[in-house]
Chains A and B, each alone.
Chain A
Amino acid sequence: MTDPASIAEEVARSSYGKLLAFLAARTRDVAGAEDALSEAFATALATWPNQGVPSNPRAWLLTVARRKRLDTIRRAYTSRQAEPHLALLAEELTMEPAADLPDERLALMFVCAHPAIDPSARAPLMLQTVLGFDAAAIASAFLTAPATMGQRLVRAKARIKLAGIPFRVPDRAEVPERLEFVLDAIYAAFTAGWTDPAGTEPRRRNLSDEAIWLGRLIVSLLPEDPEALGLLALMLYADARRAARRTQDGEYIPLDKQDIAAWDTDLIEQAEALLLQASSCGAVGRFQLEAAIQSAHVVRRRTGHPDWQAIVGLYDALWAITGSPVVAINRAVALAEVAGAAAGLAALEGLSGDARLAEYQPYWAARAGLLVRTGALTEASAAYERAIGLETDPAVRRLLWQRSSQIRQGPLPC
């Protein structure tokens, strides 16, 4: 690859976050660092084709970006105001990065997911600063108007600078609490990419890959953190089944009907290894448990059926941590596999007081499925109706229709 444009693109892809983190770490001026960096890339594209690609493109970009930033500061401030900035830049210059740029991306991720940053801005900010996504792409992935997303990002960056959010990796004692925000933001990016299961929007699909990349980065920087390992494992299990979730016509295939041959064995093996590593760290958390549930599902590769007993136990543990009604629904469905449909249904009934469930499709679909199995067909039909009315994905809606119409056609094999 000698084409200057593709070399610039390659450097942008592999080093954007590193360069930005390094440029912003001392002044906390993320927006200023972004501007300088984008000017440096523009200069590269203008000069490399004629003058040739420098031997160390990253160092070249860094030098140019620093020069641009210095110019901006000199222009923008009176000499007295500029002093503290220039002092910080001078400090940065003494840490001559030469070949090995110190990796401050982890600190940057902790900045993006700092508790003082608006939670809805955390994942977008991470995608923009660590991966160099533009605001428009991020807005489309999070189904937000570009102007709204742009504003949210600008506000968050102003906050980092003015409120003085430090570029640092928290102390060991603070890590679990603060890391949770980082992991949540990565998972939010992953699910934003995942909610387009048909893969019709390449931009969003790409987001899941980028989230996995961030997950790998976190694991490489914190290899002994069980939740970081758990999150990466969870994302890989989901990704491994990507091809199996749809028929060629785009019809939705539920997990229990998926063709095992379409699962990505290599990704599953990676996920299993990560989970094993996590379990040796001696602390159990949400992502680890969710990944373990996935593992108990893919056991089907060897035994022909999921390990439902284990799944019920894992959901119990997850419920104890999260208290989430979504977890309780999944637990009820798993329980039905172990103790029968009536037991699962009874567990679901226990949740019916939760007002949030009235609008939650999976609750009604789960209820309908279990009602069919207990023979309460009229009630089942009504529950399917509710589920269909609440679903947004046309393919899932079609599957629910199919199941609902089977009720009318006669008894189902259980």
Chain B
Amino acid sequence: MKYMLLIHVSEAEMAALSETAATEQMAAYGAYTQAMIQAGVMITGDRLRPASTATTVRVAGGKSQVLDGPYAETKEQLGGFYIVDVPDLDAALSWAERCPGASHGAIEVRPVWAM
């Protein structure tokens, strides 16, 4: 089954990290991504630029509305994602637990609904 791991972390906290801590963080993500690739479960994944760079579009009554900013203002923001292909939810959860973001934010695990 394919699952998306959505990484929600506080951008403010991330921005406040010391240079050493930020480097460590990057290295941890690098190692995590490598481990996923080597296990043959990773389909894709990336970081996202901060929510302040987001633009939200909605079409109402045939008119499109474009808003600067993310869809929802929350304490933690969607900061990145992975899509993995694993046998079941338990396997997806155990990859989510290993994600560096899990220890300072939260990882939402969603099954992909194939079209």
Contact = CB atoms under 8 A, between A and B. Distances in A.
Interface of A: 114, 116, 162-166, 168, 170
B107 to A, nearest CB: 13
Contacts of A166: 87-91
A162 B92 CA distance: 13
User: A-side binding surface: helix, strand, loop or mixed?
Assistant: loop
Contacts of A163: 89, 111
11 contacts: A114-B89, A116-B89, A163-B111, A164-B3, A164-B89, A165-B89, A166-B88, A166-B89, A166-B91, A168-B88, A170-B90
A213 B92 CA distance: 33
A334 B57 CA distance: 65
B99 to A, nearest CB: 17
A170 B87 CA distance: 14
Contacts of B1: 164
Contacts of A170: 90
Contacts of B90: 165-166, 168, 170
Contacts of B93: 116
Contacts, number: 23
Interface centre among A114, A164, A166 (most CB of B within 10 A): A164
Contact of B111 (A114, A162, A168): A162
Nearest to B113: A162
Contacts of B87: 166
A168 B111 CA distance: 19
Given A163-B89, A168-B88, 4 more contacts: A163-B111, A165-B88, A166-B88, A168-B90
Nearest to B88: A166
Contacts of A116: 89, 93
Contacts of B91: 166
B89 to A, nearest CB: 5
Interface string B62-94: 000000000000000000000000011111110
Nearest to A159: B89
Contacts of B111: 162-164
A113 to B, nearest CB: 13
Contacts of A168: 88, 90
Interface string B24-55: 00000000000000000000000000000000
Contacts of A114: 89
List the 4 closest pairs (A to B, CB-CB), nearest first.
A166-B88, A164-B1, A164-B89, A164-B88
Nearest to A178: B90
A114 B89 CA distance: 10
B7 to A, nearest CB: 19
A168 B92 CA distance: 15
A274 B85 CA distance: 44
A25 to B, nearest CB: 12
Nearest to A167: B88
Contacts of B88: 164-166, 168
Nearest to B91: A166
Nearest to B2: A164
A121 to B, nearest CB: 16
Contacts of B92: 164
Interface centre among A116, A162, A163, A165 (most CB of B within 10 A): A163
A79 to B, nearest CB: 16
Interface centre among B3, B91, B111 (most CB of A within 10 A): B111
A162 B2 CA distance: 11
Nearest to A28: B88
A165 B90 CA distance: 7
B102 to A, nearest CB: 14
Interface centre among B88, B90, B92, B111 (most CB of A within 10 A): B90
A314 B89 CA distance: 38
A173 to B, nearest CB: 11
Contacts of A165: 88-90
B96 to A, nearest CB: 11
